[in-house]
Amino acid sequence: MTGEHSFWQEAFRRESGIRRGIILHGNVGDSFLSSGGMDGAWETVPAVVERLLKTRGFREVVFWDRVSGVSGVAPRTWRDLASSAVERDVTAEGVAYDFGEPSRTVRTPQAREQGGAMMVTPDDFLAVVSRAMLKARPDPVAFVIDWSHLLFGENNALTETERGWLLRMGKAIRDGDPGLYPIAGNGGAVVQSIVVFICQGLTVLPPILYQGNPLFKEINIPLPSRHERQAAVLRFQDLFDIDPPVQPQSRSLADMVDAMDGFTLRDIHNLAILSRQQRGMTHESLISLYRFGERHSPWEQLSHDKLRKAKETLEQRVKGQESAIEAVNRILIRAYTGLSGLQHSSKQRTPKGALFFVGPTGVGKTELARSLAQFLFGDEEACIRFDMSEFNHEHADQRLVGAPPGYVGFEQGGQLTNAVKSRPFSLLLFDEIEKAHPRILDKFLQILEDGRLTDGKGDTVQFSDTFIVFTSNIGAAQISPDDPSSRDAFIEHVRRHFVHELKRPELLGRIGGGNIIPFNFMKDEKFLVDIARVKLQPLRRRLKEKWGIKQLVFEDETRALQAVVRMVDKSSGGRGVLNALISALFDPMARFLFDEVGTPSRSEGRCITVMQAGDRPIFEFDLE
């Protein structure tokens, strides 16, 4: 065996000779290749546990879960264990423990055979486990409680019965005879019997059972490493039907294995089967179909020709920010060519990009983010915005990832994790990030480093197909619009904020200094006019959709927009332009439609002409 999975198996083999209890958690539903290498057999976690325990010297390995009952041993063996446990409990010298029976007469735990299985209640099984572990014996038994995360309810709402089970196990493990019994031919020793819990997540077991207890050991079963994923793909090489085919040491194989980050070995087997049903797909499309139910990843469709038009596309909506658009374009090209570690690297688990837009209000930071979402994903709705001023208190991180089990709102999940689950191909816009509580920023460290978050329900959410944009006004109040070095000043203010105020320089390191993009102050009236002209487009669409108006015509559009822009406080930038348009143009037009037109039937297929008297923003309208 090689890789991380051999590490957990070696840890389990070692700890089973030291501890009284072991908790196996994490990737317990996967299958693993046995020590036979590429020609070995696949084993489930219970099979691996049984093999390792028997090689460690445990002659009997008893499995139990509350649905299937006892397995792994013959019915006679189980009856002998139950009887001998009762006998030892009755005949032991001194005062026997009271396990909850109403009298000193100890009932022999019963096993009801049903369909070949031995149905044993939790009370009876745990009674046998507890009594077997109280006394050292030369032939120790390993008890394995499978699906143990389904044995107990909420940790803060345990029933009296569940508390009794915990007390029974805790007393037996703590107070058992500590004598050592060597195992012949092993060279080691086993401390009595042992109980092994197999559960999907460590937090679902009551912590009081194992926390701070040296007799317990928690062992995490990790997801497959890159080496193990590649070995699995090559093992299924003949089963995969993709274009290009799986070839050892090929670039496409490396990319495919990288894109499978977070997959279990069973996922890879499922993927191979899916490829037989959807023949001839690329590995990108196959993985997208398996993960999200979508055949084509927008990242796969990010072509050379499309990127050549990126600047032109973004400049249609964002005016006066050529340097910011050029920086975004540079980062997109770097990602596309694979030189930034964002698209074709061994760390495909990280988000495709992370940008930090900084500048004064109303200069187009949010608009550029929305335009980028439209460019990358073909839909502006793919820009999912979070106003970080709403996350300015310490426990607001629960709104992002969801409340822990047992707390109010647990069932709803987190706003961020839910959004990425429902729309994995998206641009995540975190507006005014400087207003978030510093504790929230720790979540972004994990996203930018590992590309994943675990929500309150225990589900791991992947961020590897998202693009992240932070916006901020840091320094806008201190930097003069006339400062020729304002761009460098914004970058310095951002650095100072993260290093000295937030004490989070590592977050700035994850984003990357080259990804901090300062925006210009909007001083030039020409740019404000351009912004106003862009805002007329949604007005024309709305007039056509609701009123059937064929065309909106200005006698002199540029002069009209210049008159509107002169009303704007330039410190408010593009946002001030929109406010001026509403008061000078949109509201008077709405009054004209309401008073003079009345109903859409009177304006269907007609034109509205906008007339201006003088240089002031006073307009008259005519329906032609």
Q: What's 97's domain CATH number?
A: 3.40.50
DSSP H or E run through 431 = strand 426-431
Number of helices and strands in the chain (H, E): 22, 22
CA 324 → CA 319, 331, 345, distances in Å?
Answer: 10, 11, 26
Distance CA 322, CA 290 (A): 39
pLDDT at 94 over 70: no
Amino acid at 516: I
Residues in CB range of 506: below 8 A, 6 or more apart: 445
Distance CA 189, CA 484 (A): 76
pLDDT at 184 over 50: no
Does residue 246 sit in the same domain as residue 360? no
Does residue 320 sit in the same domain as residue 368? yes
Q: Please provide the DSSP assignment of 80-137 as one string.
A: HHHHHHHHHHHH-SSPPP--S-SSSPPPPPP-EEETTEEE--HHHHHHHHHHHHHS--
* Residue (of 295, 305, 224) closest to 262 by Cα position: 224
Does residue 444 sit in the same domain as residue 380? yes
Lowest mean pLDDT of 484-498, 540-554, 565-579, name the range: 565-579
Task: State the pLDDT at residue 407.
Answer: 60
Does residue 398 sit in the same domain as residue 360? yes
Quote the domain boundaries for residue 266: 226-292
Distance CA 275, CA 487 (A): 50
Distance CA 70, CA 6 (A): 28
pLDDT at 113 over 60: no
Tens-place pLDDT, residues 375-410: 988 888 899 999 998 888 877 878 888 766 556 565
Domain stop point among 169, 194, 221:
221
Distance CA 70, CA 236 (A): 35
Higher pLDDT, 211 or 301: 211
In a domain? residue 297: no
* Residue (of 444, 422, 419, 420) closest to 433 by Cα position: 444
Does residue 234 sit in the same domain as residue 214? no
pLDDT at 363 over 90: no
Q: Are 585 and 564 in contact (CB under 8 A)?
A: yes
Q: Are 52 and 9 in contact (CB under 8 A)?
A: yes
Length in residues, the chain: 624
β-strands 69-71, 141-145 pairing? unpaired
pTM of the prediction?
0.65
Task: State the pLDDT at residue 137.
Answer: 66
442 Ramachandran zone, left/alpha/beta (phi>0; psi -120 to 50): alpha
Tens-place pLDDT, residues 444-460: 888 888 888 888 777 78
Does residue 530 sit in the same domain as residue 583? yes
* Helix (H/G/I), strand (E/B), else coil: 521: coil
Number of domains into which the chain is organized: 4
Which range, 386-400, 424-438, 515-529, is most confident? Answer: 424-438
Does residue 605 sit in the same domain as residue 477? no
Higher pLDDT, 618 or 358: 358
In a domain? residue 298: no
Distance CA 490, CA 476 (A): 8
* Residue (of 509, 504, 497, 564) closest to 535 by Cα position: 564
pLDDT at 101 over 60: no
Does residue 255 sit in the same domain as residue 391? no
In a domain? residue 78: yes
Q: Please provide the DSSP assignment of 141-209 as one string.
A: EEEEETTGGGTS--GGG--HHHHHHHHHHHHHHHHS---EEEPTTTSSEEES-EEEEE-S-GGGS-GGG
Phi and psi at 293, nearest 5°, equal 80, 10
Does residue 164 sit in the same domain as residue 272? no
* Residue (of 388, 366, 371, 341) closest to 514 by Cα position: 341
Phi and psi at 161, nearest 5°, equal -65, -45
* Mean pLDDT for the chain overall: 82
Does residue 540 sit in the same domain as residue 466? no
Distance CA 495, CA 542 (A): 43
Model confidence at 273, pLDDT cuts 50, 70, 90, reads very high
Task: State the pLDDT at residue 411.
Answer: 61
Does residue 206 sit in the same domain as residue 232? no
Does residue 436 sit in the same domain as residue 463? yes
In a domain? residue 307: no
- CATH number of the domain residue 577 falls in: 1.10.8.60
In a domain? residue 483: yes
Q: Give mean pLDDT, residues 7-32.
A: 91
pLDDT at 78 over 80: yes
Domain stop point among 488, 518, 548:
518
Tens-place pLDDT, residues 304-344: 888 899 999 998 888 888 888 998 998 888 777 766 544 43
